[in-house]
Amino acid sequence: MQMNMARIVAGGAVLLLGFWVLNPFVIVGPGERGVVINFGAVQKDIMGEGLHLRVPIMQRVVIMDVKVQKGEGQGDAASKDLQQVTTNVAVNYHLDPTRVAETFQTVGSLEAVGERIILPAVQESVKAATALYTAEELVSRRQEVRDKIRLQLRERLTKNGVIVDEFSIVNFAFSEEFSNAIEAKTTAEQFKLKAERDLDRIRIEGEQKITGARAEAESLRLQKENVTADLIELRKIEMQQRAIEKWDGRLPQVTGGATPFIDIKSEQR
């Protein structure tokens, strides 16, 4: 009885040791895929997330990360007008989960993808797009340049099972001479714009003054046309009536002067 128990325990220990040494279990974590290799040959079947069994000795599983990765770099190129341009870019990408076996077979691990595929593709795409624009257009048409680089980058990387999620241009850097020339041109354009605004303001103010003068002249002309002898006589009577209303009945005290005379008869007509 004791011998049987010892054999069972020994057998269990050997079995556990064999499992530990041979390790037939494979765990593929979230955002990962397993590439199966049989005696050095990459298989088309890909392991998804979860627990899997492999054939010890014969099979080996390489874990490939398919989560979004971020890469940054820069590329030196010449613009259409032969200005030297350094472009700093950032790209987000991930491996196509359905093609990780193909990517591993042709390129290697994820680190190799970044060095052998991503960086060269970014540099070539930047050079190809930059050569289509002048240095000034690279700045003024930045969105268009970015879209063109992203399109070329996607075409290059898709061939190797890499998907571009996002691409952005961080910055354009030009030579010091060209940067100074751009700054001088921008300053000149700002002065020109200010001068044009001042001229417009002066022109508008001049037009307003002319319009006001014309209106005043027209008003005087109409008043002159409406002035008649009867109107003049009426205004004299109105002035005399206002003088009578304001008079307090006392004559002004003056020396050596004449007494003001009010034509009562003319007021009573």
C-beta of residue 264 within 8 angstroms of C-beta of residue 240? no
Per-domain boundaries in the chain: 15-65, 69-174, 176-244
The pLDDT score that the predictor gives to residue 148 is 92
Tell me the fold of 69-174: Tetrahydropterin Synthase; Chain A (3.30.479)
* Mean confidence (pLDDT) of the chain: 79
The pLDDT score that the predictor gives to residue 163 is 93
The ranges of the chain with pLDDT < 70 are 1-22, 179, 181-183, 186-188, 220, 222-232, 234-235, 247-269
The pLDDT score that the predictor gives to residue 49 is 93
The pLDDT score that the predictor gives to residue 52 is 92
The pLDDT score that the predictor gives to residue 248 is 63
**Burial environment of residue 139 by CB neighbours within 10 A (0 to 12, 13 to 18, 19 or more):** middle
The pLDDT score that the predictor gives to residue 132 is 92
The pLDDT score that the predictor gives to residue 72 is 83
Nearby residues of 152 by Cβ (< 8 Å), 6 or more positions away: 124, 125, 128, 129
Using DSSP's 3-state secondary structure scheme, residue 134 falls into coil
Among all chains, which residue has been given the structure tokens 């494979």?
A: 26
The pLDDT score that the predictor gives to residue 251 is 58
The pLDDT score that the predictor gives to residue 95 is 94
Q: How far apart are CA 176 and CA 154, in angstroms?
A: 33
User: Closest Cα partner for 150 from 129, 170, 131, 132?
Assistant: 129
